[in-house]
Chain A
Amino acid sequence: MIERHIIPELRRIVGDVGLLTAPEQLRTYESDGLTSYRVVPGVVVLPASTEQVQGIVRVCHRERVPFVARGSGTGLSGGALPHAKGVLISLARMNKILSVDLPNQRIVVEPGVINAHVTQRVATQNYYYAPDPSSQSVCSIGGNVAENSGGAHCLKYGFTVNHVLGLTVVMPDGEIVHLGGATLDQPGYDLPGVFVGSEGTLGVATEITLRLIRKPEAVQMIMAAFHSTDHAGGAVSEIIAAGMLPAAIEMMDHLSIQAVEQATHAGYPTSAGAALLVELDGPTAEVDALIDRAEEICERNGAWQVRRAATADERLLMWKGRKAAFAAMGRISPDYYVQDGVIPRTALPRVLRRIDELAEMHGMRVANVFHAGDGNLHPLVLYDGDVPGAAERAEEVASEILTACVDAGGSITGEHGVGEDKKKHMPKMFNEADLDTMNRLRCAFDPNLLSNPGKVFPTPRLCGERPGPRREHPLVAAGVAEIF
């Protein structure tokens, strides 16, 4: 339970419409997209402006009450998991696009704006917002910023961090600061660079300046069917080695194809061991020449069917299948547990074989849909939650998959974030000195550890004293400094 006396004060800040205290209302916020973790928040507030966020955070700071920001709640690592004695700050009402500057390819949005709405706003003028998580029709820009979200097109266009120029942030003590800005390389440390991907632990973003991208002249896409992921992986390597940088290269294994085809009828070859989607964009002359080469490479690597999307609609249908992959798992399994470990692309065949082994060893099925171009796996461990112990076994398989990723020189997460779920895996990648250095950054922003506490770091850490003014040069103090 939350300290009751702050409720009236919060009500004064956000009004009745912005405050939820009834248990059944609170319960709808108990988890994000990873429903295996549940905590009912102490109170939920829905501010409508930066000033209201500031007011809320000031109260939290004064009372030392933890707070957790929440966008659309689609996160897959328990990042927006509430604090039982804390305030959950939903940014859903801050959903305005504040300004559009097409000549400079900039747009300023509030954090609750839905990812896809950014592109929708500028699409008729031939612009778009590049990062495209599969959840883009519901996830918020604030959540994208916190997770440094990616998407299929990140291979060529980069992640959220490459598209965020500036941020207005309410710091954990309630100060409003501006990080970065509309122009490049503002003086000082690259604070947008570290705030993006900080998973809500460094403050609350209330305004975000994004970069827009001019739509390319041409886009072409092929879908190729292979007997195995090994063959498909061979094609991926050869495409990259040929010096192409496709907009996206996505792979699905046999199980995923089954699920997706049942759910979407996108025309995926259900008998294939693996399917590859390759999209190229850019100047027409380039795309036309390179898509032919990509087709040849697929065929040379054993593709027994290669289909080229003839129209934009056909292309969108191919994408629809891929983007619905998680949801489609319901067709083949009651439950699934997804991880998003990353490996160097060249380790793909080795790690995929290891995943097969692990699945067999534990008697589980693992479906794979992934961003093959950048080695970002999404192994979906399928299980039935009604079978006692199955969820635990699924988690164990997933955990061993992450170990395999790190052993191959990769990462425990490529886009979903560490959050609550993967914090125990952090020591697989980072030693004590690494984590201590990250904690120093954390403490510089949030010395009282109020902003989304308990996430990301594997063990609770404290901040120690706020460093005071600089120590005097000891040699000067000792009166021996004239020699320097």
Chain B
Amino acid sequence: MVVEQATRESMAALVGPEHVETARDADAVDGVRPAFVVEPANAAEVAAVVAHADHHGLAIAPRGGGTRMTWGNIPARLDLIVSMRRLDQLLEHADGDMTATVQAGITLQDLNDRLAERGQFLPLDVPRADLATIGGLIAVNDSGPLRLRYGGIRDLLIGATIVRADGAIAKGGGKVVKNVAGYDLPKLMIGALGTLGVIVEATFRLYPLPATNQSLAWESGTPEVAGAFILAVLDSTLVPTGLTLRWSTSAGSTLLLRLTGIEPSVLAQRDQALALAQAHKLGEPWRLDASDWSGLHAELLSHECALVARCSVLPSEIPALIRMLEDVAEQESLEVSAVIQAHGLGLVRATPKGTGDVAASLRAACMELRKRLAARGGTLIILAAPLAVKQRLDVWGPAPDALPVMQQIKARFDPNGSLNPGRFLGEHA
């Protein structure tokens, strides 16, 4: 108790007592409950908090909106959550330069609402944009259908400032789109799950909001028909801002296509797409609206006691992925649904139908999928799963041969292992 009290007092001295809370059950990460939640006001306070924790051997988990805290392995230990909620400012929207610099705790929705005032946006469409923060999204490297056209976070992030485990504040990249001075440290933060530093500031390149958009959907018959249509669109001169296959064991598959731009172009592309669909014998199309897109993933991420995973395959392997999902659904008696982007990234959700050893069947399904995906260069990362699954299975899957390099980077950036210990690749207990 003495140590806890001392830590609390130190933290209170750094950020003010009103910004140090005793952690509640809801603050636990995969059942591991921290002692405190600390809310620093700015980069300097983050640095002070992190340096103090690191010096005293406390384990830190940075937290944005808390929408993706289940990603990663179960924490090996956790003492302190550093909430980024108060670093929520849009620092600069340089609309003439099409860049924006933000504090890491701003939500995606808030940012895009502000950017829209001047006709621009950060083309990231991920679920729970109202809560998800920019820092958190960089750390988990999430993306949605827009990635097909605009690339992922690695293609949009041009600068970042981080707080290192020892409290040093360091920046990489810059505020201009084109810049090759020094190593690209911002890239290193993408998908690193906050294990190398706490992101406090980020600069992005932006895009103009499209003038119009139209979306179409088709029932797509077999996965092979859907797959052939996807490849045909990729091989055409169409420039879709979304091409997505939605599939589930109970409802079959649907293809979604979104076209954006100036009106004449959208109309001409629509006709081209309809002709392509007819040639592939897709059924009658129907029109979608924006909410159909934003709702796509939300469905998948909701619900307890399911397993949610991210699969990555080559575009040509999308039908094979669906067939694999069908097989494991059958073998392990699961309800499975998936939303797969034309660029080969898909979210998969599996829920056990029965009540037997639920964890065992989810584990078996994952292992089987991983084995079959690996044979085709694909991967599967678990994003959320019952604890009994995560206890026995590394959420990241087999480590690549570059793991020793990654471990060296981690050791050089965070020698005491203070940042999110246990959660990253190769750290499964």
Residues on A facing B (Cβ under 8 Å): 101-106, 147-148, 150, 154, 158-159, 161-162, 171, 175-179, 181-191, 193-194, 196-198, 214-217, 237, 240-241, 243-245, 282-286, 289-290, 342-346, 371, 374-376, 409-418, 422, 426, 429-430, 433-438, 440-445, 456, 466-467, 470-471, 473-475, 480, 483-484
Contact = CB atoms under 8 A, between A and B. Distances in A.
12 contacts: A177-B401, A193-B154, A283-B237, A283-B238, A290-B262, A345-B96, A413-B180, A414-B176, A434-B172, A437-B185, A445-B408, A467-B411
Contacts of B78: 484
B182 A188 contact: no
A185 B97 CA distance: 28
B182 A375 contact: no
Contact of A414 (B180, B261, B406, B417): B180
Interface string B154-181: 1100000010100011111011111111
Contacts of B234: 103, 105, 214
A476 B80 CA distance: 16
A371 B179 CA distance: 13
Given A191-B402, A440-B412, A240 B96 contact: yes
B420 to A, nearest CB: 13
Contacts of A374: 176-178
Interface residues of B, number: 101
B66 interface: no
Contacts of A175: 404
B231 interface: yes
B152 A184 contact: yes
A236 to B, nearest CB: 10
A431 B282 CA distance: 58
A444 B180 contact: no
Nearest to B179: A411
Name the residue among A101, A154, A343, A484 with the largest chain B CB count within 10 angstroms: A484
B188 interface: yes
Interface in B367-392: 377-379, 381
Counting from the closest, the 3 A-B pairs by CB-CB distance are A193-B187, A243-B208, A474-B57
- State the majority secondary structure of interface residues on B: loop
A289 B262 contact: yes
B264 A285 contact: yes
B225 interface: no
Contacts of A194: 183-185, 187-188
A178 B219 CA distance: 39
Contact of B183 (A198, A244, A412, A474): A198
Given A286-B262, A410-B176, A184 B344 contact: yes
B267 interface: yes
Given A104-B315, A346-B96, A415 B183 contact: no
Contacts of A185: 141, 152, 191, 310, 312, 345, 379
A473 B180 contact: no
Interface string B175-219: 111111111110110111000100000000001110100000000
Nearest to B311: A183
B170 A188 contact: no
A376 B178 CA distance: 7
A437 B170 contact: yes
A289 B402 contact: no
Contacts, number: 296
Contacts of A105: 234, 315
A433 B169 contact: yes
B416 interface: yes
Contact of B425 (A183, A188, A442): A188
Given A241-B96, A437-B185, A444-B405, A184 B343 contact: yes
A475 B2 CA distance: 12
Contact of A343 (B176, B184, B191, B268): B176
B279 interface: no
A188 B406 contact: yes
B400 A285 contact: no
Q: Which residue among B99, B179, B416 has the maximum number of chain A CB atoms within 10 Å of its CB? A: B179
A283 B405 contact: no
Nearest to A438: B183
Given A178-B401, A412-B181, A441-B183, A103 B269 contact: no
Nearest to A415: B180
Given A105-B315, A473-B57, 20 more contacts: A103-B234, A104-B315, A148-B184, A171-B405, A177-B401, A177-B404, A183-B312, A184-B152, A188-B403, A190-B190, A193-B184, A240-B96, A285-B264, A285-B268, A375-B177, A409-B174, A409-B175, A417-B180, A433-B169, A438-B182
Nearest to B264: A285
Given A285-B265, A342-B176, A444-B405, A434 B415 contact: no
B308 to A, nearest CB: 15
B67 interface: no
Contacts of A176: 401
A410 B187 CA distance: 19
B211 A243 contact: yes
B229 interface: no
Nearest to B380: A187
A196 B35 contact: no
A101 B234 CA distance: 13
Contact of B181 (A178, A189, A413): A413
Contacts of B91: none
Give the interface centre of A150, A198, A437, A483 by most chain B CB atoms within 10 Å.
A437
A186 B313 CA distance: 10
Given A177-B401, A243-B208, A471-B416, A375 B183 contact: no
Contacts of A438: 172, 182-183, 185
Contacts of B314: 101, 104, 106, 182-183
Contact of B417 (A102, A162, A241, A470): A470
Given A189-B409, A191-B402, A417-B180, A283 B268 contact: yes
B4 A483 contact: yes
A151 to B, nearest CB: 11
Contact of A375 (B56, B178, B379, B415): B178
Given A437-B164, A475-B3, A182 B377 contact: yes
A436 B94 CA distance: 29
A475 B57 contact: yes
Contact of B345 (A184, A198, A409, A413): A184
Contact of A484 (B79, B168, B238, B397): B79
B98 A434 contact: no
Interface string B256-270: 000001101101110
Nearest to B341: A184
Contact of B269 (A182, A283, A417, A483): A283
Contacts of B188: 189-190, 193-194, 441
Contact of B268 (A244, A284, A417): A284
